């Protein structure tokens, strides 16, 4: 099937005088998770990971992805001609380097304009131009190839209640306009889907797991226009938007709207998110800066943090019941990874304010745990038994917060090596949790805290230590996080008060097991003037049988014991007596 699709695509390229095409996993809004309509990369390659770029020439094809997806890509590309390029490994050519080596001067490389951000296309174009190779962006050529292509989603838009949103639409619009004025801009176009959702206190379900909807918002000093499918909005929401001065127009009319902006006006755009199609339609002056909304929504206020703290209690209860069910069930019969993922969703669905998953659960038993972003399916799923390691990374969307937690447990008797690796990872998490750092500190400066104990043993992990998390929004929210790359956005972003981030170091032994421990933390001021620290939000115990006590310092033991004491106190009131006893045992002191 993939070979047939490649042949058809090459015929279209040849007809249009093109020598290659870049197929990037993106929609017109540079979303991480895509509506099915925009999964062209998946369709042409068979690879389904969230990160990975396909490149097809007239006689070769490649797929570039990072270490999180190496094992998955090997499996999904098997039997096709598509070569896997392992990004980050020594000697592996990047996309533009490979194209420069494969093509000759004057050759044209194509990129669907709606899926290419301004920043990415400039970067690729500059690299290719050094060999006089031309990068050309244009219409979606997959329209003529993908005969059974899914339609665009049409799910109903709903409100994020003000009791949870806290800040009104009017207040957010006023704050945004103040930023426009300060930068000398007349308009701003919100291209990222979560930015419109945040600004207008609206949510949707056009994208799996992210409560957003296909939309653009054009904000001026005296006008706000929401571009989305009008049929998605009911009369009540429509009236509230109108009261806030928000005009509603069809999604596709954004093209004409940006063209019609007065040439003397200045439009603020975010080149990281805005796609080339929209950019090329703009006739007025442009101010190119990162989105003001991105920074505004990254800073959660005190009331929102209180809400998410309550959501974490309910999330912890749900996870406790899911793991309790698993440990009981595997004594009778094995449980498929996919079945356990569904059970976690079920227990979360029993909790107040639950809306859905924040991402598809990662449930990796034994060797599958070493596949960083492994997702079991009913057809391809290991059976969890009463031995070995199990890594579970899952999260929920609630009206009062977004959760993301990873726990690794052992279902039998762990080896000394498994305990050592688990404890080294846990020590790194604790070190980052306890960090006290001056204002102005970046994510890259803090990342080493989580890796130091692994590094001391010549070990490491290939992914970032943490990412920003939205408030009933995207589970992966820019700009902040913890990564070793000092020039990346997450690496160079300053950690500020009110940011919620994940803290998730790991270690992966291919074919045997994966280990990751993840809590969400919020940055707060203190304990000294001009300094910040982290407060842990997530509430669920660590597997004590995997902790090598001899590797812990007194300070680390104190942190674990205090954390487990907090977990028990927060969750126990929502459990029955039998459940309380189980949790009490899981939370008993290290020396107890």
Residue 71, pLDDT score: 83
Q: What is the mean pLDDT of residues 124-149?
A: 96
The pLDDT mean for the chain works out to 97
Per the domain annotation, does 258 fall within a domain? yes
Range of the domain at 347: 302-548
Residue 58 and residue 186 in one domain: no
Q: Is residue 566 in a domain?
A: no
Residues 381 and 530 in one domain: yes
Looking up residue 326, the CATH number of its domain turns out to be 3.90.230.10
Helix (H, G, I), strand (E, B) or coil at 496: coil
Q: Could you tell me if 352 and 374 lie in one domain?
A: yes
User: How many domains are there within the chain?
Assistant: 3
- Gap between the terminal Cα atoms of the chain: 59
Judge whether 538 lies within some domain: yes
217 and 354 fall within a common domain: no
At residue 237, the pLDDT reads 98
Domain assignment present for 401: yes
Query: Which CATH number covers residue 255?
Result: 3.40.350.10
Q: Give yes or no: residues 350 and 498 share one domain.
A: yes
Same domain, 286 and 307: no
- Helices and strands per DSSP (H, E), number in the chain: 19, 30
DSSP for 68-85, written as a single string:
GGHHHHHHHHTTSSPEEE
- pLDDT band, very low/low/confident/very high, at 592 (cuts 50, 70, 90): low
pLDDT over 90 percentage in the chain? 95
**Beta strand pairing call for 466-467 and 506-509:** unpaired
Give me the pLDDT at residue 68, please. 81
How confident is the model over 364-386, as a mean pLDDT? 93
Q: Tell me: do 33 and 103 sit in the same domain.
A: yes
Q: What pLDDT does 69 receive?
A: 86
Question: Domain check: are 278 and 313 in the same one?
Answer: no
394 and 455 housed in the same domain: yes
DSSP for 33-50, please give it: S--GGG-HHHHHH----S
27 with 115, same domain: the answer is yes
Averaged pLDDT, 42-64: 94
CB burial readout 409-422, b (16+ within 10 A) else e:
bbbeebeeebbbbb
Tokens of 123: 């970067």
pLDDT per position as a tens digit, 156-169: 999 999 999 999 99
Q: What is the pLDDT of residue 300?
A: 98
What mean pLDDT do residues 447-473 have?
A: 97
On whether residue 592 sits in a domain, the answer given is: no
If asked whether residues 283 and 337 sit together in one domain, one would say: no
Give the pLDDT band (50/70/90) at residue 280.
very high
Whether the link from the prior residue into 164 is cis, omega within 30° of 0, is: no
Q: Is the pLDDT of residue 379 over 90?
A: no
The sheet with strand 362-365 has its strands ordered as: 362-365, 389-394, 405-410
Has residue 76 got a pLDDT over 80? yes
Residues 334, 240 within the same domain = no
pLDDT band at 72 (very low <50, low <70, confident <90, very high): confident
Judge whether 585 lies within some domain.
no
- Number of neighbouring beta carbons within 10 Å of residue 569: 11
């Amino acid at each position: 099937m993939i070979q047939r699709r490649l042949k058809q695509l090459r015929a279209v390229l040849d007809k249009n005088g093109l020598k290659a095409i870049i197929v990037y996993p993106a929609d017109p809004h540079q979303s991480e998770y895509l509506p099915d309509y925009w999964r062209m990369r998946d369709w042409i390659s068979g690879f389904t990971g969230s990160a990975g770029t396909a490149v097809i020439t007239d006689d070769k094809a490649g797929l570039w992805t990072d270490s999180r997806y190496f094992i998955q890509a090997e499996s999904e590309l098997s039997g096709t001609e598509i070569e896997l390029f392992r990004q980050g490994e020594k000697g592996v050519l990047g996309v533009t380097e490979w194209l420069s080596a494969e093509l000759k001067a004057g050759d044209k490389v194509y990129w669907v304009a709606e899926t290419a951000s301004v920043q990415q296309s400039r970067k690729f174009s500059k690299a290719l131009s050094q060999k006089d190779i031309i990068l050309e962006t244009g219409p979606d050529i997959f329209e003529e190839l993908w005969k059974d292509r899914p339609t665009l989603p049409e799910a109903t838009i709903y409100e994020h209640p003000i009791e949870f949103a806290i800040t009104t639409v009017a207040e957010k619009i006023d704050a945004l306009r103040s930023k426009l004025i300060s930068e000398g801009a007349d308009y701003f176009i919100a291209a990222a889907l979560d930015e419109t959702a945040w600004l207008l206190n609206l949510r949707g379900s056009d994208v799996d797991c992210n409560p957003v909807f296909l939309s653009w918002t054009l904000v001026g000093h005296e006008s706000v226009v929401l571009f989305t499918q009008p049929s998605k909005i009911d009369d009540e929401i429509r009236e509230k938007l109108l009261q806030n001065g928000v005009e509603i127009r069809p999604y596709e009319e954004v093209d004409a709207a940006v063209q019609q902006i007065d040439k003397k006006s200045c439009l603020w755009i975010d080149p990281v998110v805005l796609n080339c199609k929209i950019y090329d339609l703009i006739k007025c002056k442009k101010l190119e800066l990162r989105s003001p909304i991105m920074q505004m929504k990254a800073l959660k206020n005190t009331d929102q943090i209180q809400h998410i703290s309550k959501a974490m209690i309910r999330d912890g209860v749900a996870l406790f019941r899911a793991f309790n069910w698993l440990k009981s069930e595997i004594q009778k019969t094995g449980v498929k990874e996919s079945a356990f993922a569904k059970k976690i969703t079920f227990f979360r669905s029993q909790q107040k304010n639950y809306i859905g998953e924040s991402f598809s659960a990662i449930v990796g038993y034994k060797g599958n745990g070493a596949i960083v972003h492994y997702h079991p399916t009913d057809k391809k799923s290991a059976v969890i038994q009463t031995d070995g390691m199990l890594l579970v990374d899952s999260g929920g969307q609630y009206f009062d917060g977004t959760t993301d937690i990873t726990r690794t447990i052992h279902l039998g008797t762990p080896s000394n090596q498994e305990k050592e690796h688990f404890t080294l990872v846990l020590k790194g998490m604790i070190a980052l949790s306890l960090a006290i750092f001056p204002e102005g500190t970046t994510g890259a400066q803090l990342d080493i805290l989580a890796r130091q104990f692994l590094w001391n043993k010549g070990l490491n992990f290939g992914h970032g230590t943490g990412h920003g998390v939205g408030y009933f929004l995207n589970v992966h929210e820019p700009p902040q996080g913890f990564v070793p790359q000092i020039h990346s956005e997450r690496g160079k972003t300053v950690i500020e008060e009110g940011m919620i981030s994940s803290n998730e170091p790991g270690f992966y032994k291919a074919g045997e097991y994966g280990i990751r421990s993840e809590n969400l933390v919020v940055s707060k001021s203190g304990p000294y003037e001009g300094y910040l620290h982290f407060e842990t939000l997530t509430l669920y115990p660590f597997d004590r049988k995997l902790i090598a006590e001899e590797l812990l310092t007194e300070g680390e033991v104190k942190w674990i014991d205090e954390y487990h004491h907090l977990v028990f106190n927060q969750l126990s009131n929502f459990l029955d007596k039998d459940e309380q006893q189980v949790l009490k045992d899981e939370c008993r002191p290290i020396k107890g």
